[in-house]
Amino acid sequence: MVALATALALGACTSPDAERRSDQPERAKATGEADELTVVDLDNVPDVTEEKKETEENGVTASLSYPKVPNADPLAKRLDEITDRERDDFLGAVPKAESIKIGWNLSVAGDDVMAVRLTQDEKDDEGERTAWATYWYDTATGTTAYSTELLAGQQELETLDGLVKKALKENDGDKVDTSHLYPILRSYDSMGFNPDGDLVVEFDEGQVAPVKSGRVSAVVAKADVEPLLSDFGRKAQTAAVVVTPDYRIEEEPAAPKDGSKAGVPGVFATRDDDVDCSDPESKCIALTFDDGPGERTPELLDTLAKYDAKATFFLTGGPVREHAATVRREYAEGHELANHTVHHPDLTRQAEVRIRAELSTVNDLVRRETGFDLELMRPPYGATDDKVAKIAKEQGLAEIIWSVDTNDWKDRDSSVVAKRAVKGAKPGSIILMHDIHGTTIDAVPSILKQLDEKGYRMVTVSQLLGDTEPGESYFNGHPEEKKDDTDGKDDGTSASSDEKSDKKDDKKDDKD
């Protein structure tokens, strides 16, 4: 009786949705495995074609493909960019790359929603590895979306992260290690629905389990995930669970929009617009840590979290490869990631081609781990010149020097390091430390406690400086001295005289 009454009530409803449904024939339920994203039979998408790109560069072959459907140009454009980017990042970040192949299938093609799932096979001297990423598209608005945009916001992604960890532990507890999984874009880049409308989250080989364990997925029940979905996510879920025969897009969207990363769940801003560091009252300070991550950087992150302090990490290549999980955690906890070259050379003594590679490789490595595009670099030893500045500019990187040098690499004494950091601190300071030294890690609790008591706000460099110009050098963000700094910036190499002498020592002794 109750069911009948409900059905009658629905029948009487004259909402546009109900009308549309009554016009259309009943659609068949999508088929597929419970732990897989739905797959669209291409017979139902008669106009789909495949774009193919084959390249060979330094002996590395790339074979990239993606689908093209009439009247979905913004999607094709986005997939073209994404596949190029993935190839370039692979070539840049993996030292002994052999080949990369990107193939595709459609996970959803119905109503106003399309989903393209890319399968990326990478081969290097250590073996083969497969990764997946699923991109979404709203055919009505011309908007492309990351998988995390199926969710309403960052809070929802964090809740999902908890549910996924629980599900993985229950099902694959032996082989899966989720302790290094964070709610960031790059870790949640392949999500969709199974035929029942449950959310399927899939992880690349090697991401949460050894590569040999293959693909790992978590299924979050429809009822659990529904409260977490965005409006688009609900639309996507509805379209995913049915088969749409003879799928066509009637016309191009009127005003195609570029997918922006701002506000995307799993993407973190390097600054909070509510804080104005150009106001001396804000008492902003940027703590910066170079040459890492190190073994004890997770401890440092715990300490920063305790004081709600943000920092900037100038990363070098080897440590990023060795401690990739720490890099993801730094990003997930709202710290700023920045570039400190692969091998830490004095860039002013390198050929342009080497400078380019030293910087771009770290950009590529960090993007592959986090999805974040670096905006800042610090030349090793603070050594820069017009040539370095030109290349930094090409790569969209501002050069960040420092105003307070703790000399923590030289004096491995945590009380000395703490004293120098606190004594040198004033609003707008950029404080130089290295998170590869245990004595520095030990100094930070005292530094944070004292700066906190003095009313300082520990912020990222981008928060401190506001908009920075790629290729320009910045030494501090002192609110009252901003004009003077601009005057002194021109010769590019100038730090204050005592900073210069520090740099000389740094060159001589810093073994990193």
Closer to Ni ion by CB, 290 or 364: give it: 290
Closer to Ni ion by CB, 368 or 503: give it: 503
Closer to Ni ion by CB, 233 or 379: give it: 379
Whether residue 437 lies in the annotated active site? no
Closer to Ni ion by CB, 209 or 315: give it: 315
Least distance to Ni ion from the beta carbon of 436, Å? Answer: 9
**DSSP line for 417-470:** HHHHHHHH--TT-EEEEETT-HHHHHHHHHHHHHHHHTT-EE--HHHHH-S--T
Distances (CA, A) of 217 to 86, 109, 178, 187, 338: 22, 22, 12, 12, 31
Phi, psi dihedrals of residue 103, rounded to the nearest 5°: -115, 180
For residues 30 and 240, the answer to whether their CB atoms sit within 8 Å is: yes
Q: What is the DSSP letter of 151?
A: B
* Footprint of Ni ion on 339-398 (CB under 5 A): 380
* Footprint of Ni ion on 219-238 (CB under 5 A): none
Which one among 156, 291, 358, 408 touches Ni ion, defined by CB under 5 A? Answer: 291
Determine, following the binding rule CB under 5 A, whether residue 405 of this chain makes contact with Ni ion.
Answer: no
Query: Site size for Ni ion, by CB under 5 A?
Result: 3
d(CA 395, CA 377): 10
Closer to Ni ion by CB, 377 or 464: give it: 377
d(CA 407, CA 386): 26
Least distance to Ni ion from the beta carbon of 65, Å? Answer: 41
- Among 206, 214, 216, residue whose Cα is nearest residue 325: 206
Closer to Ni ion by CB, 194 or 361: give it: 361
Least distance to Ni ion from the beta carbon of 512, Å? Answer: 6
Least distance to Ni ion from the beta carbon of 473, Å? Answer: 16
Whether residue 290 lies in the annotated active site? yes
Name the residue number minimizing CB distance to Ni ion.
290
239-267 as b/e: b if 16+ CB within 10 A: bbbbbbeebebeeebeebeebeeeebbbb
Which one among 122, 202, 205, 290 touches Ni ion, defined by CB under 5 A? Answer: 290
Which amino acid, one-letter code, is at 121?
D
For residues 335 and 312, the answer to whether their CB atoms sit within 8 Å is: yes
For residues 152 and 233, the answer to whether their CB atoms sit within 8 Å is: yes
d(CA 464, CA 86): 32
Catalytic one of 434, 435, 442, 478: 434
Interacting span for Ni ion (CB under 5 A) from 88-96, 286-294, 326-334, 423-431: 286-294
For residues 408 and 443, the answer to whether their CB atoms sit within 8 Å is: yes
Least distance to Ni ion from the beta carbon of 378, Å? Answer: 7
Closer to Ni ion by CB, 290 or 435: give it: 290
Closer to Ni ion by CB, 291 or 375: give it: 291
Which amino acid, one-letter code, is at 59?
G
Q: Which two tokens stand for residue 68?
A: 């093209």
Least distance to Ni ion from the beta carbon of 426, Å? Answer: 23
For residues 363 and 435, the answer to whether their CB atoms sit within 8 Å is: no
Least distance to Ni ion from the beta carbon of 344, Å? Answer: 6
For residues 144 and 135, the answer to whether their CB atoms sit within 8 Å is: yes
Interacting span for Ni ion (CB under 5 A) from 80-88, 245-253, 287-295, 305-313: 287-295
Q: What is the DSSP letter of 496?
A: -
Catalytic one of 138, 198, 204, 290: 290
d(CA 479, CA 462): 14
Least distance to Ni ion from the beta carbon of 176, Å? Answer: 36
Residues carrying an active site annotation: 290, 434
Report the interface residues with Ni ion, using CB under 5 A. Answer: 290-291, 380
